[in-house]
Amino acid sequence: MPHAEIPADSLLDSDAMLRIRSLKLRARLVVEGFLAGFHRSPYHGFSTEFMDHRVHQPTDPPRLVDWRVYGRTDKLYVKRYADETNLRAHLLVDCSASMAYQGSGSVTKMEYARSLAASLALLLLRQRDAVGLCLFDETVRSWIRPRAATGHLDRLLVELIRHEPHGLTRPLDVFSAMAGRLPRRGLVVLISDLMVPLETQVRALRSLASGNHELIVFRVLDATERRLAFLGPVSLRDMETGEEVTTLPSAVSGAYAAAVDSSWRSLNRETERFRAQLLDLDTATSLTGALTALLASRDRLR
């Protein structure tokens, strides 16, 4: 399946947003920027099958009010959707050493992934969905069970902030071990640079989807990792193994870029079998655009 197109418009561009030091404020601005353009979007959120109405709560955003019902009854009601009360989302964030890479961007891949996860958590919690979090490298570093309670966002943010990248990436071992922690069908969102061989990627993602979960994968890369956009001879070091190689980018960049693109297409083909949705980002992609792409991909699954 082709990867999703990422919209370019946003309240703030990626560089400006990621320079905001407070992760909570950053997430709030991203989500509010996304919701401000919500009325222009053909996507309806994480729950699209209308079920009934419920009484309006003071914390409900105005966009959820059914104004036609208000016109008839002079009372505020919001639409409730079939999945609204039972969606359990699990955010899986790669914290391995390769996520510390910054390259040409203004932030590391880890900081971008952290901001994206925080924004997704806030958006889901605003819809009263339960959100859990797993941070991993070669093992599970932190696991928080999904909850929709008040104050749960703060706990998720603390875990996202306190874990810095280190260690190897072993997604197959981690995801296989996690199978028992994801007993109910839910939404699983993986945020990773997927810096493992293609066969390992496919097997790891298949294990995540094995519980009939809806699986969405954000691959996060720096632009230089896609095209080797360096001048003159360079020494490249694997941030996880320490292995180094010296090369002349102008001599190999074409073949390298073709290999990166070919691997991504192959991963898309292989994961079609278990209906995973793959979204390709780099650290310059707007975070509001990433949220919109997520809703677009879920809309195609329905």
Q: What pLDDT shows up at residue 114?
A: 96
DSSP conformational letter for 100:
G
Q: Give, for all 302 residues of the chain, the pLDDT tens digit.
A: 434 443 433 444 556 666 677 899 889 988 888 887 654 444 444 544 444 566 777 777 777 787 777 777 788 877 665 444 458 899 999 999 999 999 877 789 999 999 999 999 999 998 888 999 999 999 999 999 999 988 999 999 999 999 999 999 999 999 988 877 887 788 999 999 999 999 999 999 999 888 788 899 999 999 999 988 787 788 888 888 888 988 887 888 899 899 999 999 999 999 998 889 999 999 988 898 888 888 777 655 44
**For residue 167, is it within any domain?**
yes
| 75: containing domain | 50-81
Residues 115 and 241 in one domain: yes
- Predicted TM-score (pTM) of this structure: 0.80
What is the count of structural domains for the chain? 2
**For residue 3, is it within any domain?**
no
Residues 67 and 111 in one domain: no
- Return the H-helix or E-strand segment holding 219: strand 214-221
Structure tokens at 213: 């979960």
**For residue 29, is it within any domain?**
yes
Residues 55 and 37 in one domain: no
CA dihedral 300, 263, 132, 33 (to 10 degrees): -60
**For residue 153, is it within any domain?**
yes
Burial classification of residue 142, based on how many CB atoms lie within 10 Å of its CB (0-12 exposed, 13-18 middle, 19 or more buried): middle
Q: How many CB atoms lie within 10 A of CB 164?
A: 11
Domain boundary among 66, 81, 96: 81
Helix axes 152-162, 109-126, angle to 10 degrees: 170
Residues 60 and 104 in one domain: no
Residues 72 and 130 in one domain: no
Sequence length of the chain is 302
Residues 160 and 193 in one domain: yes
**For residue 139, is it within any domain?**
yes
Residues 55 and 36 in one domain: no
**For residue 210, is it within any domain?**
yes
Residues 77 and 157 in one domain: no
Residue pair 276/215 in contact by the 8 Å Cβ criterion: yes
Q: Is 298 helix (H, G, I), strand (E, B) or coil?
A: helix
Residues 34 and 62 in one domain: no
**For residue 54, is it within any domain?**
yes
The domain that contains 187 carries what CATH number?
3.40.50.410
Chain centroid, CA 82 distance in Å: 23
**For residue 99, is it within any domain?**
yes
Residues 59 and 100 in one domain: no
Residues 139 and 61 in one domain: no
Residues 243 and 263 in one domain: yes
